[in-house]
Amino acid sequence: MLARLTDWLSRSLMVLAAVLAFLLCFLVVADVIGRTVFNSPVQGTPEIISLSIVIVCYLQAAYAIRSGGMLNVEVVTALFGDRTRSWLAAFASLCGVVFFLAICYGSLEGAAYAWESGEYEGEGALRVPVWPAKFVIVLGTGLASVGYVLMMFSQIRAAVTGRPAVSHSAQH
């Protein structure tokens, strides 16, 4: 149940990130045309783009983890048997949980401050609020942590039973 919910949510956020990246292309084109043809760039483009890149990256993190799209170097692990590889993969997943939970925890205060204070980027004609990007970092790292926890349990089960772990990339 948790795995299906996590998979659905991570796929939905990945689609949202793809749509956002697609829309950003139009903003960049409009800015370039406005800058070169009309000598009038679209106000706030650098601020919108910089915050949107953060949003796109963190919206896609959980999907990359659940689909098996994270980097995996097998030079050393290929030397071991299936059970040892599963234990090493479980340890790597634990490291991922700790890493993303640390980012999530460390981002909570900044997200709350951005919301309460009305923090923004940019001066003049367009001021872009920062809180959406900060809350997406919290959401993305929290969901990435859940993804790594699910992967870790799958790898532990594989190590104990001697059967390969279920690949989530085949389900997508």
The one-digit pLDDT tens for each residue of the chain (172 residues) are 888 999 999 999 999 999 999 999 999 999 999 999 999 999 889 999 999 999 999 999 999 998 887 777 778 878 888 899 999 999 999 999 999 999 999 999 999 999 999 999 887 778 899 999 999 999 999 999 999 999 999 999 999 998 776 655 434 4
Give domain limits for the chain: 2-171
| Cα 55 from Cα 140, distance rounded (Å) | 9
| Cα 71 from Cα 45, distance rounded (Å) | 32
Picking from 30, 152, 46, the residue whose alpha carbon sits closest to that of residue 98 is 152
Token pair 């205060």 is at which residue?
Answer: 109
